[in-house]
Amino acid sequence: MKKHLARIAIFSAIIFAYSVHASAQIYVNVRPAPPVIVRSAPPTPDHVWIGEEWEARDGVYVHTGGHWAMPPHRGFIWIGGHWSRRRGGWYWIPGHWRHR
């Protein structure tokens, strides 16, 4: 009986984790246009411009790009995010740092 309950608990945890992850993705019918942001001079030569970036908040996408950031480690580059289309509509794939 304990083995059976343990399997049910593990299965429930997997289903819960998947449903939380799946619900985090938001689809839109029309991709939002980024606001016009004037790029200032970089604070240091090592700073990297983070342009168009979107974050899902309360069921909508909010623009969070348009700022300078320092790479987390030497030799890292910024790979910008982009919109991707699936059956449900458009969704945002976030940018990320990657080692060269």
pLDDT tens digits, one per residue of 16-62: 444 444 446 889 998 888 888 889 999 999 999 999 999 999 989 99
Range of the structural domain that residue 53 is part of: 2-99
Residue with tokens 């974050």: 55
Model pLDDT, residue 17: 44
Model pLDDT, residue 21: 43
Say if pTM beats, i.e. exceeds, 0.75: no
Give per-residue pLDDT as tens, 59-79.
Answer: 899 999 899 999 999 999 999
Q: Chain-wide mean pLDDT for the chain?
A: 82
Domains: count for the chain = 1
Long-range Cβ contacts of 53-61 (<8 Å, 24+ apart): 53/80, 53/81, 53/94, 53/95, 54/81, 54/92, 54/94, 55/94, 56/24, 56/25, 56/26, 56/92, 59/26, 60/26, 61/26, 61/28, 61/32, 61/92
